[in-house]
Amino acid sequence: MKVGIMGGTFDPIHFGHLATAESVREIFKLDEILFIPSARPPHKVERQITPELHRLMMTFLATKSNEFFQVSPMEFLRDGLSYTLDTMTELTKKYGAGTELFFIIGADSMADLSKWYKARELLSKAHFIATNRPNVEVNLEALKEFFGASAMKHIHQVSTPGLEISSTDIREKIKSGKSIKYLVPEVVEEYIIKERLYL
Ligand code: ATP
Ligand code: MG
C-alpha cells in the first residue's frame, strides 16, 4: 500500500492543500491521503494557533467529499511538540512494513528539511514529495550534500497546479473583513463564520 501524508497546521485548511493532495495522489498512485493536523508544530511556537478542535473539524469538513482522503487526530493525542518523526514511526507501526509512506510538503518546507528534528532518520522512514509553491526553488544539490546521494531516492519533486493561497492570507482577509470565497470549501467558510474564527 502507498499512503500519502499531508501534514500542516491547517489554520485554516484551504484549496491549496486540497488540490495539491489530490494531484499528488494521482501522480504517485497513492491508495489514500491522510491529513494530519499538527498539534504543536516546533516551528510555529511563537504564533497563537487556533484550538485544535476547530482545526480538526475544518479538516474533516474539507475532506469529507473525497473518498481517498482521511483525517487523523494522532498528533493531538501525543504530548509535547509534534515531531514528524514520531508520526512516521507511529504510522509505520500501524500500517506495517509493506506500506510505503509519502509525506507531501510544499517546496517552502522542503527547502529546510535538513533542519527538521532528526532529519536523516526521518528521511529513512518515508518518501518526501515537494510540491511547488510560488517563488520557491528547492535546492536539490544542498539536500544531496546534507543527506547523501542514496537518500535522494526518497526525495521527489512534482509540479502541481499552483494555487497561490495561504492560511496566513486567509486569516488576514478575515481580520480585515474581506471575502474568503473560493479560497476554502464552502463548508469551511460556514464553519469559520459560525465559530467566529480569525476575527
Ligand atoms: P501558514 O500561512 O499559516 O503557514 P499555509 O497556507 O502555509 O499556512 P500550512 O498548514 O502551513 O499552510 O501548510 C501545510 C502544508 O501544505 C505545507 O507543506 C505547505 O507547504 C503546504 N501548502 C500550503 N499552502 C499550499 C498551496 N497553496 N499549495 C501547495 N502546498 C501548500
Ligand atoms: Mg505554512
pLDDT in tens, 91-147: 999 999 899 999 999 888 888 899 999 999 999 999 999 998 767 778 888 999 999
As a whole number of angstroms, the distance between CA 114 and CA 111 comes to 8
Task: Looking at the CA of residue 9, tell me the nearest atom of ligand 1.
Answer: 10
As a whole number of angstroms, the distance between CA 134 and CA 42 comes to 24
* Residue 8 beta carbon below 6 angstroms from any ligand 1 atom: yes
Which residue, among 88, 87, 135, 89, has the nearest Cα to 111 in the 3D structure?
Answer: 135
Ligand 1 center–CA 80 separation, angstroms? 22
Q: Do 24 and 4 meet the contact criterion of CB atoms below 8 Å apart?
A: yes
Give nearest CA residue, ligand 1 atom 15. Answer: 8
Give the pLDDT score at 176: 97
Give the pLDDT score at 20: 94
* Residue tagged 501524508 (cell numbers): 5
Give the pLDDT score at 45: 67
Amino acid at 72: S
Q: What number of other Cβ atoms are within 10 A of residue 121's Cβ?
A: 11
The set of cell numbers assigned to 138 is: 528547492
Residues of the chain with pLDDT under 50: none
Q: Do 107 and 74 meet the contact criterion of CB atoms below 8 Å apart?
A: no
Cβ-proximal residues to 146 (8 Å cutoff; 6+ apart), any chain: 114, 119
Ligand 2 center–CA 97 separation, angstroms? 30
DSSP state letter for 111 = T
Give the pLDDT score at 190: 98
Give nearest CA residue, ligand 1 atom 26. Answer: 16
Give the pLDDT score at 163: 86
Which residue, among 132, 131, 113, has the nearest Cα to 123 in the 3D structure?
Answer: 113
Residue 7 burial (C-beta neighbours within 10 Å; 0-12, 13-18, 19+): buried
As a whole number of angstroms, the distance between CA 152 and CA 70 comes to 28
Which residue, among 69, 72, 92, 91, has the nearest Cα to 23 in the 3D structure?
Answer: 69
Give the pLDDT score at 50: 94
| Ligand 1 mutation target, pool 17, 35, 44, most atoms within 8 A of CB | 17
